[in-house]
Structure 1
Amino acid sequence: MRLHTLALCAAAIMGPAAYAPGQSIVINEVMSSNVFTLSTAEGKYEDWIELYNTGDSTVDLSGFGISDNYSQPFKWVFPATTLQPHAYMAVFASEEDRKDTDPMHTNFKISANGEAIFLHNSAGVLVDMCNVPALYRDISYGRYPDGDTSHYFFDRPTPIAANSTAPGSGISLSPVFSMESGFYADQILVTLARQGTTGTVYYSLDGSEPNAQATPYTTPVSISHTTVIRARTIEANMAPSPVISKTYFINDSSSLPVISLVTDPVNFFDDSMGIYTFGTDYSPFYPWVGANFHEDWERPVHLEFFETDKQQVLNMEAGVKIYGGNTRESPEKTLAIYARGDYDYDQIAYRIFPNLPYISYTRVLFRNSGNDWEQTMFRDAMITSLAEDLDMDIQAYRPSLLFLNGKYWGIHNIREKYDRYYFEAHHGVNPDSVDLMSRHPGGMQVTEGDSVDWTLFQDFVKTQDLNDSATYEELRSKMDIQNCINYYVTEIYIDNTDWPGPNYRRWKAKTPGGKWRWLLFDTDCAWGQRQWGSMTAATYTRNSLDAATDPNGPSYPNKPISTELLRNLLACDSFKVRFINTFADRMNTTFDPAHVCQRIDSIKALIDQEIPRHIEKWAGTYDPFGSAYLGGIPDWENYTQVLYYFANNRRPVVRDHVLQKFNLSGTYVLTIRNPDPEKGSVMVNTVPVADSLWSGGYFNGNPLPLVAIAKPGYAFKDWGGLDVSANSFYLTSSADTTIRVNFIIDSIGVENNGPRDTRTTILEQNRPNPFNASTMIGLYVATASHVTLRVFSIDGKMVLQVLDQNLPKGRHSLTLQNSRLSSGIYYCHMHAETYTGIRRMMLIK
């Protein structure tokens, strides 16, 4: 952690300051890293400031200002309140700005790295100040005795009470370990050396935080099996040093990344405060309401992350909570990791997911695989990976091994956490300007922001005639229609039996032009999971399309309110056409059995070598309903076979469900022939077709959009004999159909970098090109039109939808800034009425 070498003398911290004479209110004690000391009414631990009235008279604090910025003395102002003689008052420095609670909350936090706190009276005169030094967790800094001019460190803080515990004039230096955390082939000896001339090093081997009752270091510590050592220096008249934690893996290897979590065992397993246990005050019936693991408790943890090459890439203090719904009851639980300045760093500064460009995270999950814990351990990861190319938000996945206090704790799936920081990273939005809504069996829940706009949106869809063209255009401005359709089609096809009542999430940026988008989340109960290893017709035949549109569904999982939005949207003809076509798109591509089986193979292979050890760890444990964990490898192999069984049998069943639901007469096979795929490709609804020959099944009588997209240097010629001159048209067919597309050399060329003739619609070349962080895209619309602007990778996959809305006549420009894209060649495709244009872009990172 950052305070390893901290050794401070209190006398050197305070600088000269002019104070108002005769004032009796002082800043008596401050804590900038509160983890366990003083909790709010909600059970949270925030920074705090204690005031003390040294005088014999009551002081009216009305109008007093407290601040961490001398130039803003009234950053936070006390309301009408008083402080009695020789009394104490605490104020939480939480940024929450609340004056109706006791203690109250200021609108600022205190930096754990140290900063000054100022107290001014209502006349603007400085009453007191405190130069708070860098503090590690649960160490306070204050006056001793109360009201005195001398300041000290307290490892036993006393908020809202006298500073009566033994003070320290500084913070001891942490001991130095002779060997770093890591993997060793055989037994090792670890030396612990103090840095000062006085004091004693104490250490533990069970994860507990060493104190004066722990083992004093005298000789090198012999380590013969995987072990954690925690050590600190304790000396007279000093606050103890920060604890140093190191993990030594002995004769232990894995093909997966390895996570070591170290925490005092009481934080996980103590009946009164352990987050991993039932505790003592809970209902004796499922789901054991009141159990410790259902509480929103956060505990400190030391985190080390070792890559597959065994190199340590993370070493930090953090917070940990139990995460999830009813799967909290599983013996192996999901852990949410929180980076906070109160512990150490406020970012997990590592590129955890190699396939993503993000180099830091604020929160991350170590997931137990939810309802799939006692089956495959990768069902949700496999399903969400299928949606990677669908312009849908998903949680990245990476399997890992977790050790808790040196003990093997099994496979945990590292996942991104849906919160405001996720949208900041993936969409570049202000994390404080996001609405994130969840629906659980108990009803709607606001996770971020508020529900105002979502309520208005629901009312709009429910009360307006969406078949009116103007109303439909307004709908397009409120929601990302294709994203919504992809979401519903995916959830229905995979047969998520724990949806749409629970696990239904959507979000919106609270900015002009922000649209509602849907999040694929918690699909553990999909893909035949509820059949518990049985491979019969019931595994894949459930009509989840009917369930998702049932106006009279049961309270779980599809009560009427959970199906209302989709029912209302499908009453709109335009939406229904796109919905039916997208079902066909997904069955032709995303859920093609061969494609899915290859994906199952690849993800299964990531963990199959680790599964035996994982099963051995959890053998003999039971789920919340009394079912024993996997009996062995044959059980696991059987559960994974269900994934293949569902993949190979689901498609024709869903096709029939669509036919029945929308009263369609049947399907036809569409074949696209492109003799020159190097010159261009075809978009079949949402499917980019870049091959010379492609076939897919579509629904009779449902208008299907086809768009020919020429590559740079080429132009669309014709549709091979069809009486269609434009490069895009709608195909309505009820018989097998073959379409040929032809491209020719473009004599004009598309790489002209200058603005084109503004009398015609045109897509201009982006500038700069090549680009790094961002690039400007200009376009001119000759007449008011609906414009789509999409970005495709060099292999024809759509990677980004930039624009999908009506634009007035005139020139428009926008900035493309998307950190999800990796370096390479991309094609920006614009479509407006009869115009289609393409520009080649190069991203260099």
Structure 2
Amino acid sequence: MKHSYFKLNLILGFALAFMLTTTLPIFAQSVVINEFSAANFSVAQEDWIELYNTTGSNIDLSGYYLSDKEDKPTKWMFPAGSIINANDFLLIYASGKNTVIGTEYHTNFKITQTQNSEGVYFADNNGNIIDNNPIDIPNQADNSQGRTTDGAATWSFFLIPTPGKSNTSPAKLAYAETPNIKPASGGYSGSVDVSIEVADPTLSIYYTTNGNAPTTASTLYTAPFTVNATTVVRAIAVSPNTNIPFSFIETNTYLIDEVHSVKVLSIAGNQVDDLLDGDWLKPFGSFELFDENQIKIAETSGEFNEHGNDSWAYPQRGFDFISRDQFGYDYAVKHKIFKTSNRDKFQRLIIKAAANDNYPFSGGGLDPAHIRDAYVHHLAQVGGMELDCRSYEPCVLYLNGEYWGVYEIREKVDDADFTDYYFDQDEYDIDFIQTWGGTWAAYGDFNDWTSLHNFILTNDMADPANYKYVTDRFNVNSLTDYVILNTQIVCKDWLNWNTAWWHGKKDAGVKWRYALWDMDATFGHYVNYTGIPNEDPDANPCDPVQQLMADPEGHLAMLDALLKNEDFHNTYINRYTNYNNSLFSCEVMLSILDSLVARIEPEMQRHVDKWGGSKAGWMGGVNQLRDFIEKRCFYIDEGIADCFELEAAPLMLS
């Protein structure tokens, strides 16, 4: 018996030593999802997932999977050699980058916590889900969800996340119930009686009527109250239980006796007014969009930041809005905002105050019309030009309940959400380059562009093989349209400023193409930053090509090289001619301008009451714009004929 006992201990000892020095395959529940966050904002903005090895042995995760979708559990596979050490944690970034950077794992997906269909799913090498946590309730900013203690069966919220470390933060049960403010946001006559409700009688409600986020220092709700003027009501619920954090903020805007013919945007938040007074802040606040009948059509909360450069010095300022999923409200503004696009989800929007064409503040050249940039983008869109444009919808803005003037809701083009929606090319699939004084890659790098640019300038473009090499990679119609549009409208703020171009690399890819930026310094208005030789309606359309003025990135040098190819030369002239006979005809250009002006005309009296000037003064600027267009239409055909040495004014050739 003693001998057998000794042998048994010897065998167990060898087995233990083997287990301590060998990486084992995974067994169900030996590795668990321990904590995750899709609300990581203040420190690093990548989503993350923490796995915990509950055993005393290293475990090989090679060939196992993580996903954000239950019906697609094999989205991202752990690469060979992925080891989670005994009784240790492994942190994986759900960044969408799909790479391994040193010891950092990055998945090919991100987690959208407010989408109501996502979570964290861990599957074995056969795609069977081992562990999961669907996201039923999103986190507030910088919070996480995790097991109450490492490997525990129960889950909690953490106000202080511990990525890659033991779950030692105080576990919170749930957020307090979000209050229900009645009646609904919208337009009302006379006054409205407001009530705020929660189902849990132990909760206290605090509210504000000045746009600020409520705190326990705000007004304690005890009974319904009456609102007699346009007001933003914001409320939170607070529990006496310290394990239940404050609720999300509920926001309702009441538009009292307001009359508008365009959409209404109401924004509110601490320091949002300071931002629009010119402070360089990035405040958090609410965003409510109403249709022309003042019925709410979209709402979320997010981050506001400055928009514009020269125009940031004007009293009426524009701003960018970002609906951040990390805040837990909604990942996008969800509505089909623009008549020229079917897109109905926007994480980022520009809320523009007409920028350098702002009335009454913009100066230089012809008077401002509060419409130029929107007009040019809209013109290019409806004309089907091969350019990416900022879709436009007029609105009036209310800031913390105060009327703030006529604005523009604009689609953001220099944004991976834009390229993803229209071209299926996300932020890791594109090279997006911009010039504004200097030149930089907003996404990706310069490598492919530099190679193509050099090829065009150092090879004979009259050679069909060389030209085909270029057209396989470059949307040359986009280049022609970019030059045609800017010369037609006599733009004096391009090439060395406000120029953007990009391509996509996913699957078949997207050829290099141009995107429009700020088009305010056009039709005789504002400062001649590019130094074009003639700013008047009779400006020669070939001035840019022939003089190659300020063009640090050589776009016109490429055009000049490509014009040596007969096919491209004919295409350029034909496209210019066709546009002049259609989109750029006086009848069409003035009709489109008049339709846009008519939309904001009923709003301009109140706008000038707020910001100064006069409605007659604004209309004078509009008429100057119309006069410029009429004169330009008269001259342009003759200009094309002269600069390309045609025998007569160009006719439609295609």
TM-score class normalised by the smaller sequence? 0.7 to 0.9
Instruction: Identify which range, 67-76 or 166-175, moves more after superposition.
Output: 67-76
User: 591, 598, 603: which is aligned to 1:605?
Assistant: 598
Q: Deviation string for 1:324-358 (max 9, x for gaps)?
A: 55544544443334455444444433221234444
Residue 95 of structure 1 deviates from its aligned partner by 2.8
CA distance in 2, matches of 1:351, 1:705: 38
2:385: which partner in 1? 391
**Residue 653 (structure 2) pairs with residue 705 (structure 1):** yes
Structure 1 residues 224, 89: CA separation in 2 closer, same or farther (over 3 Å shift)?
farther
- Cα pair distance change 1:414/1:80, threshold 3 Å: same
| Paired residue total | 599
1:180 aligns with 2:184: yes
Q: For the Cα contact (< 8 Å) 2:540–2:643, is it kept in 1?
A: no
The 8 Å contact of residues 464 and 471 in structure 1, kept in 2 or not, is answered as yes
Measured after TM superposition, the shift of residue 227 of structure 1 is 1.0
1:308 maps to what in 2? Answer: 292
Deviation at 1:435, TM superposition (A): 3.8
Q: Percent identity?
A: 25
Aligned to 1:350, which of 306, 327, 335?
335
Partner residue in 1 for 2:140: 137
* Cα separation, 2, equivalents of 1:54 and 1:665: 81
Q: 1:246 maps to what in 2?
A: 252
In structure 1, the residue matched to 2:20 is none
CA contact (8 A) 1:569 1:576 kept: yes
Q: How does 1:495-534 map to 2 (within 5 A)?
A: 495-510=490-505, 511-512=507-508, 514-530=510-526
Aligned residue for 1:412, secondary structure, equals strand
**Residue in structure 2 matched with residue 644 of structure 1 by the alignment:** 626
Task: Tell me which residue corresponds to 1:364.
Answer: 349
Q: 1:440/1:348 Cα in 2 relative to 1: closer, same or farther (>3 Å)?
A: same
Match of 1:546 among 543, 547, 554: 543
Paired with 2:468 and 2:169, the residues of 1 have a C-alpha distance of 68
Q: Residues 576-627 of structure 1: CA distance to partner in whole angstroms, max 9, x if unpaired?
A: 33333443433333333343333332221211221232233334xxxxxxxx
The SS at the match of 2:300 is: strand
TM-score by structure 2 length? 0.78
Name the residue aligned to 1:260: 266
- Deviation track 1:54-78 (CA, whole Å, cap 9, x = no partner) reads 99x9x98997988458976984479
- 2:356/2:526 contact within 8 Å kept: no
1:378 shift after superposition: 0.8
* 2:76 and 2:108 in contact (8 A); partners too: no
SS in 1 for 2:223: coil
Check conservation: 1:438, 1:445, Cα contact below 8 A. yes
| Residue 189 (structure 1) aligned with residue 193 (structure 2) | yes
Report the secondary structure of 1:411's partner residue. Answer: strand
SS for the counterpart of 1:529 is coil
Whether the 8 Å contact between 2:303 and 2:324 is mirrored in structure 1 is yes
Q: Which residue of 2 aligns with 1:228?
A: 232
Q: Which amino acid aligns with 2:576?
A: F
Note closer, same or farther for the CA distance 1:32–1:483 as it changes in structure 2 (3 Å cut): closer
Letter in 2 for 1:307: D
Task: Give per-residue Cα distances to partners, 1:163-189, cap 9 Å, x unaligned.
Answer: 777643233222222311011111222
Within 2, Cα distance between the matches of 1:390 and 1:170?
51
Tell me the distance in 1 between the aligned counterparts of 2:409 and 2:234. 25
Q: Deviations over 1:343-381 (max 9, x none)?
A: 444443322123444444454332222221232221122
Taking the aligned partners of 2:119 and 2:461, their CA distance within structure 1 comes to 57
CA distance in 2, matches of 1:588, 1:582: 10
Correspondence for 1:96: 97
**Aligned residue for 1:813?**
none
CA contact (8 A) 1:79 1:99 kept: no
Q: How far does the alpha carbon of each residue in 1:211-263 deviate from its partner, in whole angstroms, 9 at most, with x for none?
A: 3232221121221111111112211132322221111111112000111223x
Distance, in Å, in 2 between the alignment partners of 1:367 and 1:492 is 24
| Structure 2: distance between partners of 1:91 and 1:591 | 54
Between the aligned partners of 1:573 and 1:420, the Cα distance in structure 2 is 36
SS at match of 1:605: helix
Q: CA RMSD in A?
A: 4.2
Structure 1 Cα separation of the partners of residues 337 and 523 of structure 2:
28
Q: Do residues 489 (structure 1) and 484 (structure 2) align?
A: yes
Contact kept in structure 2, 1:548 and 1:563, CA below 8 Å = yes
1:685-764 aligned at under 5 Å gives the runs: 697-698=649-650, 705=653
Alignment of 1:624-703 (within 5 A): 631-655=613-637, 657-662=639-644, 664=645, 667=648, 697-698=649-650
| Mapping for residues 35-434 of structure 1, pairs under 5 Å | 35-36=41-42, 39-40=43-44, 45-49=45-49, 67-68=66-67, 75-76=77-78, 92-97=93-98, 100=101, 105-112=106-113, 113=116, 115-116=119-120, 134-138=137-141, 139-142=143-146, 151-155=155-159, 167-235=171-239, 236=241, 237-262=243-268, 264-266=269-271, 268=272, 292=280, 300-324=284-308, 326-339=310-323, 341-342=325-326, 343-373=328-358, 374=362, 375-387=368-380, 388-393=382-387, 394-418=389-413, 419-423=415-419, 425-426=421-422, 429-431=424-426
Are the counterparts in 1 of residues 578 and 653 from structure 2 also a CA contact under 8 Å?
Answer: no
Deviates more, 1:102-111 or 1:242-251: 102-111
Quote the offset at 1:640 in angstroms: 1.6
What code does the residue aligned with 1:446 have?
Answer: A
Q: Which of 609, 617, 625 in structure 2 is aligned with 1:616? A: 609
CA, structure 1 residues 422+91, in 2 after alignment: closer, same or farther (shift >3 Å)?
closer
Distance 1:172 1:617 in 2: 40
Where 2:237 maps in the other structure, the secondary structure is strand
- Residue equivalent to 2:19: none
Give a deviation string over 1:455-500, Cα, whole Å, max 9, x none. Answer: 3332332223222344445544444444432331111111110112
User: Are 1:73 and 1:118, in contact at CA under 8 Å, matched by a contact in 2?
Assistant: no
Return the letter of the residue paired with 1:484.
Answer: L
Q: 1:424 to 1:154 in 2, by over 3 A?
A: closer
1:649 positional shift: 1.9
> Matched residues in 2 for 1:425 and 1:128: separation?
32
Q: Quote the residue 2:455 is aligned against.
A: 460
Partner of 1:689: none
* Number of the residue aligned with 1:794: none
SS in 2 for 1:609: helix
TM-score of the superposition, structure 1-length normalised? 0.62
- Which structure is higher in helix share? 2
Deviations 1:747-771 (A, max 9, x none): xxxxxxxxxxxxxxxxxxxxxxxxx
Amino acid at match of 1:256: V
**2:490–2:535 contact (8 Å) kept in structure 1:** no
Identify if the C-alpha distance between structure 1 residues 494 and 192 changes in structure 2 by more than 3 Å, giving closer, same or farther. Answer: same
- Alignment partners' CA distance in 2, 1:219 and 1:528: 58
SS at match of 2:262: coil
Residues 1:277 and 1:646: Cα distance change in structure 2 (over 3 Å): same
Whether the aligned pair in 2 keeps the contact of 1:179 and 1:190 (CA below 8 Å) is yes
The residue correspondences of 1:561-572 to structure 2 (distance < 5 A) are: 561-572=554-565
